[in-house]
Amino acid sequence: MNDTVFALSTPVGGAITIMRISGPDSRALLQMFFTGRIEHRRVSYGRIVDDKGETVDHCTAVFFSAPYSYTGEDMAEIFTHGSYAVAKRLTEMLAASGLAVQAEPGEFTKRAYLNGKMDLAQAEAVMDLISSTAERQRRAAQLQLEGRLSAMIGGIYDRVKASCALLSAAMDDDTDEIEYDEHAASAETALIKADIDRMIEGGMRAKVLREGARIAIIGSPNVGKSSLLNALICRERSIVTNIPGTTRDTVEESADIDGIPVVFIDTAGIHETSDTVEKLGIERSEREKENADMVLLLIDGSRSISEEDCAIIKGLDTQQNRKILVLITKSDLPQLVEADAEAFCGLDAMRISSLTGEGMTELKKRIAAAIAPDERDPALTNTRHIALLEQAAKRLGAASEMLKNGETDIAFLEMRAAMDDIAAVTGREDPSEDLINSVFAGFCVGK
């Protein structure tokens, strides 16, 4: 790990290419190839020269003395012209120097983590920030990078640790001098679990920032699903016809709704059929309906509610933690369906017309309100973090029950295991090498 490493941090082909170097020989390497001044955090102009004294490029370079750098080590960044030939030459010179080797993907950030510059969750936020495309994704990554999530996780870890310490002291006490209140301990453990559950719940909403919200458009044939999808993405994509059952499989389209990446799924008309191809499509749309973060249920306003519509409404599991919005379509035609909420089992309902665009602005607003995460708290967007915290919550729930029953020994083991799960989110308390490697495996070279 003490090797000096180098990597291009920008794709070659732009106006400027950045070569990064990190490790104890960074200064020596700069002295070897760069003619400018080398001073901590000072940008200087100079030339890159090879061992024969030939100029390879004119460039600027900056040097950072350890520990005041991104990685916490001595570091240098060289800004050359964005030429493939220059980049290739400089790479060859660095490799041939014998002082440095090519960096692995994510190695600079990994070193920053190992040198205590940031924790694992912050390192992951670097990657999220780089890959963010929508504004809210950027904001969530920024909060995580600033350590707000880490602070929250740290608070929870400390509470479990304190509970463990109390329990451990009581278990070690042969004289019975320490009074341990199992019921109070059980209640505190249940409280910590509830706090973690709340974070996970918020995280489920925030996950849409990373993966995009999945919104299923469902309804019987010909209610206007494909037309709505086209209106939402402003493009002709699904086949719109007046023959029922033409959208045989599901169609997916991405859009940006109020800074949130959204995937709309136009499901095949859900209805009884004997056609096998259509049947497959319908089965898939049933699945989509289950997996979606939000469901738009379409009812054709220009005809009376059919038995089929009723069956679809009854088939919706309103208990699930996701939003359902009823859209009464074709509002430009004479309306036979009342936009009466009670008719739709207490579900929110509104009228739209994909033809005239009536209600579309309001619809987008309602979609954003339904899926937008709460931005007051740092968001739990990472599936690795969510999985670890789910496991910790499960263990704490079990421990709380065990404490209530006086099973302190096994409760202690569960709580210790929960501590390890929580610690693995930020990588505090000696994380395993496997964990570290798996986190950085997804990084790009030069980061």
Positions touching ligand GDP (CB under 6 A) are 219, 221-227, 240-242, 247, 269, 329-330, 332-333, 353-355
Q: Which one, 90 or 294, has the nearer CB to ligand GDP? A: 294
Q: Which one, 218 or 257, has the nearer CB to ligand GDP? A: 218
CB of 296 vs ligand GDP, minimal distance in Å: 11
Q: Which one, 182 or 332, has the nearer CB to ligand GDP? A: 332
CB of 326 vs ligand GDP, minimal distance in Å: 14
Q: Which one, 110 or 289, has the nearer CB to ligand GDP? A: 289
CB of 370 vs ligand GDP, minimal distance in Å: 21
CB of 327 vs ligand GDP, minimal distance in Å: 10
CB of 239 vs ligand GDP, minimal distance in Å: 7
CB of 140 vs ligand GDP, minimal distance in Å: 34
Q: Which one, 189 or 247, has the nearer CB to ligand GDP? A: 247
Q: Which one, 3 or 362, has the nearer CB to ligand GDP? A: 362
- The three state secondary structure string of the chain is CCCEEEEECCCCCCCEEEEEEECCCHHHHHHHHECCCCCECCEEEEEEECCCCCEEEEEEEEEECCCCCCCCCCEEEEEEECCHHHHHHHHHHHHHCCCEEECCCCHHHHHHHHCCCCCHHHHHHHHHHHHCCCHHHHHHHHHHHCCHHHHHHHHHHHHHHHHHHHHHHHHHCCCCCCCCCHHHHHHHHHHHHHHHHHHHHHHHHHHHHHHCEEEEEECCCCCCHHHHHHHHHCCCCCCCCCCCCCCCCCEEEEEEECCEEEEEEECCCCCCCCCHHHHHHHHHHHHHHHHCCEEEEEEECCCCCCHHHHHHHHHCCCCCCCEEEEEEECCCCCCCCCCCHHHHCCCEEEECCCCCCCCHHHHHHHHHHHHCCCCCCCCCCCHHHHHHHHHHHHHHHHHHHHHHCCCHHHHHHHHHHHHHHHHHHHCCCCCCHHHHHHHHCCCCCCC
CB of 234 vs ligand GDP, minimal distance in Å: 15
Q: Which one, 136 or 351, has the nearer CB to ligand GDP? A: 351
